[in-house]
Amino acid sequence: MDSGNIVLQETDYRRLQSILERTQKDLRAHLVMLIDRSGHQIACEGPDQEIDQTALASLAAANVAATNGLAQIVGEPGFSVLYHQGSHRSIHISTVATRFSLVLVFDQTVASGVVRWKVRRATFFLDEILSEVVKMSERQHTSADAANEPALTTKFTDEEINRLVGEINLK
Amino acid sequence: MTFINYVARELNCKIVYYGPGLGGKTTNLQHVYSITAPENKGKMISLATETERTLFFDFLPIDLGQIRGFRTRFHLYTVPGQVFYDASRKLILRGVDGVVFVADSQEERLDANLESIANLQTNLKEQGFDLARMPYVLQLNKRDLPNVIPAAELRKSLLVKGEPVFEAIAMRGVGVLDTLKAVVRQVLIELRKSA
pLDDT of residue A130: 92
- Residue A2 confidence (pLDDT) above 50: no
- Residue B88 confidence (pLDDT) above 60: yes
Beta strands in B42-135 (DSSP E): 45-48, 54-67, 70-78, 98-104
- Residue A145 confidence (pLDDT) above 60: no
Query: Which residue type is seen at B95?
Result: G
pLDDT of residue B133: 92
The least confident of A71-75, A102-106, B158-162 is A71-75
- Residue B155 confidence (pLDDT) above 60: yes
pLDDT of residue A4: 63
CB B80 within 8 A of CB B55: yes
| Three-state DSSP class for residue B10 | strand
- Residue B68 confidence (pLDDT) above 90: no
With cut-offs at 50, 70 and 90, classify the pLDDT of residue A140: low
- Residue A148 confidence (pLDDT) above 60: no
Residue A14 CB burial class (10 angstroms; 0-12, 13-18, ≥19): exposed
- Residue A3 confidence (pLDDT) above 50: no
The least confident of A48-52, A150-154, B34-38, B98-102 is A150-154
| Residue in B7, B45, B68 nearest the CB of A13 | B7
Q: What is the pLDDT of residues A9-68, one digit of tens each?
A: 888 899 999 999 999 999 999 999 999 888 888 999 998 878 999 899 989 999 998 998
Domain boundaries, chain B: 3-194
Contacts 24+ apart (CB under 8 A), B120-129: B120/B18, B121/B160, B123/B86, B123/B89, B123/B90, B123/B93, B124/B93, B124/B96, B124/B99, B126/B90, B127/A1, B127/A2, B127/B90, B127/B93, B127/B94, B127/B96, B128/A1, B128/A2, B129/A2, B129/B93, B129/B96
Beta-carbon contacts of residue A49 (< 8 Å; ≥ 6 apart):
none
Rounded to an integer, what distance in angstroms lies between the CA atom of residue A6 and that of residue A138? 8
With cut-offs at 50, 70 and 90, classify the pLDDT of residue A84: very high
Rounded to an integer, what distance in angstroms lies between the CA atom of residue B195 and that of residue B174? 34
With cut-offs at 50, 70 and 90, classify the pLDDT of residue B33: very high
Domains in chain A and their CATH numbers? Answer: 10-146 (3.30.450.30)
CB B131 within 8 A of CB B124: yes
pLDDT of residue A169: 62
Question: Residues of A numbered 46-65 whose beta carbons fall under 8 angstroms of chain B's beta carbons: which are they?
Answer: 52, 54-55, 58-59, 62, 65
Q: Which residue of A has its CA nearest to B71?
A: A164
pLDDT of residue A151: 60
Size of interface A-B (CB pairs under 8 A): 151
Q: Give the distance from residue A111's alpha carbon to the nearest chain B alpha carbon, in angstroms.
A: 31
| Residue in A142, A150, A152 nearest the CB of B68 | A152
Q: Do B195 and A38 touch (CB under 8 A)?
A: no
Rounded to an integer, what distance in angstroms lies between the CA atom of residue B149 and that of residue B140? 10
Rounded to an integer, what distance in angstroms lies between the CA atom of residue B154 and that of residue B176? 18
Rounded to an integer, what distance in angstroms lies between the CA atom of residue A10 and that of residue B40? 25
Q: Do B45 and A36 touch (CB under 8 A)?
A: no
Q: What is the pLDDT of residues B6-18, one digit of tens each?
A: 788 888 999 999 9
Neighbours of B15 (CB within 10 A): 23
CB B115 within 8 A of CB B101: no
Main-chain phi, psi angles of A107, to 5 degrees:
-120, -175
Q: What average pLDDT does the structure give for chain B?
A: 92
Among A92-101, B1-10, B49-58, B65-74, top mean pLDDT goes to A92-101
Q: Do B92 and A7 touch (CB under 8 A)?
A: no
Rounded to an integer, what distance in angstroms lies between the CA atom of residue B189 and that of residue A161? 8
Query: What CATH number matches the domain at B3-194, 3.30.70.20, 3.30.420.40, 3.40.50.300, 3.40.50.720?
Result: 3.40.50.300
The least confident of A108-117, B12-21, B135-144, B150-159 is A108-117
pLDDT of residue B195: 60
Q: What is the pLDDT of residues A87-129, one digit of tens each?
A: 999 999 999 998 899 999 999 889 889 999 999 999 999 999 9
Q: Are strands A81-84 and A89-96 parallel, antiparallel or unpaired?
A: antiparallel
Q: Do B195 and A153 touch (CB under 8 A)?
A: yes
Q: What is the pLDDT of residues B107-129, one digit of tens each?
A: 999 999 999 999 999 999 998 89
- Residue A6 confidence (pLDDT) above 80: no
- Residue B170 confidence (pLDDT) above 80: yes
- The separation between the first and the last C-alpha atoms of chain B, rounded to the nearest angstrom, is 12
Task: Report CA Rg, chain B.
Answer: 16
CB B62 within 8 A of CB B97: no
Quote the pTM value: 0.87
- Residue A141 confidence (pLDDT) above 70: no
Neighbours of A149 (CB within 10 A): 12
